[in-house]
Each structure stands twice: as C-alpha cells, then as structure tokens.
Amino acid sequence: MHPLLDKLLKKRKIADVSHLGEVEKENFDQWSRILSEGEITVKTIEEFCQGQLNKIEAGFKDMDKSNEEKARLTILHGVYKSLINIISGPLVERETLEKYLNSLL
C-alpha cells in the first residue's frame, strides 16, 4: 500500500480496507492504482487509448444511444485512433524500412 493511503487510513482510524464502503473501496482502489503506476510512458498512453477505443466500440453496439451520442462517440473514436496511429506509425514505418533494406542485402 502506498504510504499516503496508509496515512489517510490511519488518520481516519480505519484499521483495514475491508471496512470501507463500496464507493470508498472503488475510490481507494483507483487511488492505489494511480499511485502505484509510476511514470507515464508512451506505452501507457497507447494502452489507455486502446482501452478508450474498446469502451467506445462497446458504446456503438448500444442501440439505445441517440444520434447525438453516436456522433460524439464517432468523433472520440477518431481522436483515439489517430493518437494510436501517431504512436505506432513510426514503428510500423521502421519495420517496413528494415524489411526493405534487408531484402536489398
């Protein structure tokens, strides 16, 4: 457990995480995850974007969404897809170039 979270529990006189309510437990878990992740890297950004794309694509399947909500999802999908392409584009380009140069050898 992160020291800040441990101090917070002690300050609030909570002996164990199991004594937290459902919403409090969700917040605690989220805070714990955020504090334990460490440095943000390009890989973590790419993983986040892919997670968002998965949520958006699940939203496309929801037939109860209005046209306005679907339009918003479409825009968000384009943004996250573009970010992933920006991140992975140089890698794909590099791999293609390496294959080409190896074929010349």
pLDDT tens by residue, 64-100: 999 999 999 999 999 999 999 898 888 888 888 888 8
Does the structure show a pLDDT above 90 at 25? no
Note the pTM of the prediction, 2 decimals. Answer: 0.57
Half-sphere exposure of 23 (CA within 13 A, CB side): 0
Most confident of 5-19, 28-42, 51-65: 51-65
Task: Give the number of other CB atoms < 10 A from CB of residue 80.
Answer: 19
DSSP state of 13: T
Determine what percent of the chain is predicted with pLDDT higher than 90: 35
Mean pLDDT, residues 27-39 taken together: 82
